[in-house]
Amino acid sequence: MPEGPSIVILKDEVAAFAGRRIASVDGNTTIDTSRLVGQRIVALRSWGKHFLVEFDGFALRIHLLMFGTYRIDERREDKPVRLGLRFDDGSELNFYTCSVRFVEGPLDETYEWSGDVMSPAWNPAIARRKLRAMPDALVCDALLDQTVFAGVGNIIKNEVLFRIRVHPLSAVGALPARKLAELVEQARIYSFEFLEWKRAYVLRQHWLAHTRRICPRCDIPFVKAYLGTTNRRSFFCERCQRRYGAVGAELVPVKKAEGARPASAARVLAEVKPRKAPKPVKAPKAMQAADASTPAKPVKAPRRSRADEVASDAVRRRPAPRVGAAPRVAEVAAQPAPRAARKAARRSRAER
């Protein structure tokens, strides 16, 4: 999401359009664009993340949301125009993937300029007073509250908290007065440093915490988690960033791969529930019905043949050898086979 410094850059880049008259309007916005045709731009202003096109008696508010962009005197081929302004001299100003609304009446009656961190009218005393009125809020939410720090976004939040060594889950009311003042002061200072670095195209080179993996102070891995009611990404060090105030729960780091899971308000757990034991695997209903209706049958021993019975009987009748004595070879050789013994017995009975 473009933050306050980026909107200031937009305001500066389109400053030449002030005083020009709109010849035509196009785009897929749902506002009444015919109201803009023929209007002369009185001023181009910004408040926080809002870009304001001021006319006589009303204004146009443009919010670039998360991925909004703009083009001056050119068009993007890959995206439809949300709002396109054409001027008498042939110049044009196009906005993409943004929110467009009318603001009725003078802007000074709608916007509190003292709450914009990029405004010359910024008042740190008012910001401190607003923070003291929300003692139970987390600092990660307070910094993103546009009624307190208009223009501060997620990058500024992560960098300011790392710079002042404050844990994002700290409670605002638990911050010492010195830390509270430091929070307000650094929110404005870093916003102007952000502006300077972005104009020089070196912003990412100055990030110390946002999207980083290792803490440059402690040389240990950063924690990445989606925190607060805003549920925005936080990058912080558990060692050098102190947590003020008891949250009453343990932090649960969140990976981006869990995007299918809804994020909780503060990404903390009051307790860890034990895993349930796996349920026993049940047999199919058809098999259960068959088992219930059919009594169990006794298992029968395999049927033995007559030859097996005779052989076993001959072995049982054979005299056991004496303990410790091996049978003589002559006796073993003289013993007839079971079938030959039966034939010899029958011949003996016949001769009698």
**Residue 77 pLDDT more than 70?**
yes
Mean pLDDT of 84-108: 96
**Residue 260 pLDDT grade (very low, low, confident, very high; cuts 50, 70, 90):** very low
3-state secondary structure labels for all residues of the chain = CCCHHHHHHHHHHCHHHCCCEEEEEECCCCCCHHHCCCCECCEEEEECCEEEEECCCEEEEEECCCCCEEEECCCCCCCCCCEEEEECCCCEEEEECCEEEEEECCHHHCCCHHHECCCCCCCHHHHHHHHHCCCCCEHHHHCCCCCCCECCCHHHHHHHHHHCCECCCCEHHHCCHHHHHHHHHHHHHHHHHHHHHHHCCCCHHHCCCCCCCECCCCCCECEEEEECCCCEEEEECCCCCECCCCCCCEECCCCHHHCCCCCCCCCEECCCCCCCCCCCCCCCHHHHHHHHHCCCCCCCCCCCCHHHHHHHHHHHHCCCCCCCCCCCHHHHHHCCCHHHHHHHHHHHHHHC
CATH of domain 4-111: 3.20.190.10
**Residue 220 pLDDT more than 90?**
yes
**Residue 309 pLDDT more than 70?**
no
Share of the chain above pLDDT 70, in %: 72
Q: Assign a CATH topology to domain 115-269.
A: Helicase, Ruva Protein; domain 3 (1.10.8)
* Domain range annotation of the chain: 4-111, 115-269
Instruction: Give the per-residue pLDDT at 264.
Output: 40
